[in-house]
Amino acid sequence: MKKKLAFIVIYLLVCLVPLITVGMSQDTSASEKRESAGFPKAVSEGKLNTQYFTQFDAWFSDHMGGRSFLVKAQTAMKEKLFGESAESSVILGKNGWLFYADTEDDYCHVRTMSDRNVENAARILLMLSDYCKENGAEFVFTVAPNKNTLYSENMPSRYRQAGEKSNLDALTEALARYDVKYADLEAAFREQSKVLYQARDSHWTYEGAMLAYRTIIDRLMSEHDHFMEVTFTERNDWDADLANMIYPDAADDDPQMYPNIDYSFVTKGDMVIDEALVIETLGGAGEGNLLMFRDSFGNTMWRYFAEGFSKAEFQRAVPYRMSSVKRISADTVVLEIVERNLINLVEKAPLMEAPTAEPEMLDAVDMNDAADHLEFETSNGLLHAYGWIDAGWLGEQYRVYVVVSEDGHNTFYEAFPAYERELLGTEEGGDNGFSAYLPEGTPETAVAGVLVETKGHFFYATAEAMK
């Protein structure tokens, strides 16, 4: 009886702690990157606040005493007792490792890109490479591997591979067929005995970023500094993204190896953050002008490139603004994307004027009865023509030409085989789209139709039939 009474007393005291210490907890705005809820008013501007109790609940949740401890305790209990993550977007791995849940399909070889979409991605990259060559620039494409692609031994045993190839495996093979210059980071990392990704972060370390930089530089024809004599110093101050997702108010800092480099480049602007959409640098120790399209994996890598080139511009915005090649007179173009986002290559066409072409066609079969969709918008002064073709007409590979007729003359502009899912307003993507940016001043009325080359034949649909 005494034990039961003691348990009840302790339980009630624990329940009372948040009430007694309310308002004594630390501000959650910094750790959770949001504003803490303010104390509500029952009457505002002479009117009764009908949301008072909802707002009070939000205020109490943010300011109750011991909030950080309780959040951490709940998360730890789920991990230890049930082996589950308190955050659905994070996978609890072995040996204290964490993985981003969005990489599950890639790890299990669940193909989210069809064979045709893989071919489309390779075709788009070839078109970018050709565009760079025409403008005097060297192009190289690279993929940052998902962490569990490289360190599968730390993934939970319940995750099994369902197929032989991942999206990355299929695309790597296609790039070889299309002869696109590709820096194979997966192969480079597999050759290393040292772990070069963070255990509780989704990204590589600064040492991993150095390996990626050297691998990309090795695929370029020109000579650049490889920083072979660089040493690294460890500091326990890394704000690991996956750990913060699980413990938003109480994550411990992780170790990180920082390079000991005296950079000579300078950045444009008073303050530059790694997450910036655009970073411009001048005065690097190397030679040449670099244009680099990158994502969050570039946060630890861009300084190496900035130092390796005399001038560089790093862009994180999508769609890729390939027109920047001419604007900054780039002689080197690098496109880096993380493995889990490969599908993005075929869902937003790069922003550049579509190249002209002269397809060697004989007779085109009329496909007006099956033609599906064509839309227009004006973007950056260019006429953007996009849509989709009935998939029944298409083979594994296809090419689309937007036909512009002016003064009795037809001009063929090759479109990217990209399915503009957001612009088309569809929840699901597709592998039968096209997207082309036509020259400034092109009116919609000048677009005569769409010519499709696939399965060794040409098919034609008028613009009027596709609307």
Residue with tokens 């997207």: 435
**What is the token pair recorded at 237?**
């101050």
Give the residue among 192, 188, 145 at the shortest CA–CA distance from 169.
145
CA–CA dist 427, 422 (Å, integer): 8
User: To 10 degrees, the CA torsion angle through 296, 301, 303, 309?
Assistant: -120
Give the residue among 52, 154, 12, 166 at the shortest CA–CA distance from 94.
154
Give the residue among 421, 281, 414 at the shortest CA–CA distance from 352.
414
The H-or-E segment that residue 449 falls in is strand 447-454
Q: 386 forms bridges with which residues in the sheet?
A: 375, 435
For the domain made up of 356-466, the CATH class stated in words is mainly beta
How does pLDDT run along the chain (467 residues), one tens digit per residue?
A: 555 555 455 545 555 555 555 555 554 444 444 556 776 766 666 667 666 666 666 766 665 554 454 444 454 444 444 445 556 899 999 999 999 999 999 999 999 999 999 999 999 999 999 999 999 999 999 999 999 999 999 999 999 988 889 999 999 999 999 999 999 999 999 999 999 999 999 999 999 999 999 999 999 876 777 788 899 999 999 999 999 999 887 678 999 999 999 999 999 987 789 999 999 999 999 999 999 999 999 999 999 999 999 999 999 999 999 999 999 999 999 999 999 999 999 999 999 999 999 988 767 888 888 778 999 999 989 999 999 999 999 999 999 999 999 988 999 999 999 999 999 999 889 999 999 999 999 999 999 999 999 998 999 999 998 98
Q: Is 137 helix (H, G, I), strand (E, B) or coil?
A: coil
132 DSSP 8-state letter: H
pLDDT digits (tens, 9 = 90+) for 265-316: 999 987 789 999 999 999 999 999 999 999 999 999 999 999 999 999 999 9
Residue 163: predicted pLDDT: 85
Give the residue among 436, 348, 349 at the shortest CA–CA distance from 384.
436
pLDDT digits (tens, 9 = 90+) for 190-207: 999 999 999 999 999 999
Going by their DSSP bridges, the two strands 43-44 and 47-48 should be labelled as antiparallel
Q: 99 vs 32, 42, 88, 90, 257, CA distance in Å?
A: 20, 44, 11, 6, 20
Helices 115-134 and 167-178 pack at an angle, to 10 degrees, of 40
User: What single letter denotes the amino acid at residue 230?
Assistant: V
Instruction: Sketch the domain layout of the chain as residue ranges.
Output: 29-42+56-84, 101-346, 356-466
In the sheet where 398-406 sits, what is the strand order?
Answer: 356-357, 409-415, 398-406, 447-454, 457-462, 365-366
CA–CA dist 407, 390 (Å, integer): 30
Q: Residues with Cβ < 8 Å from 223, sequence gap 6 or more?
A: none
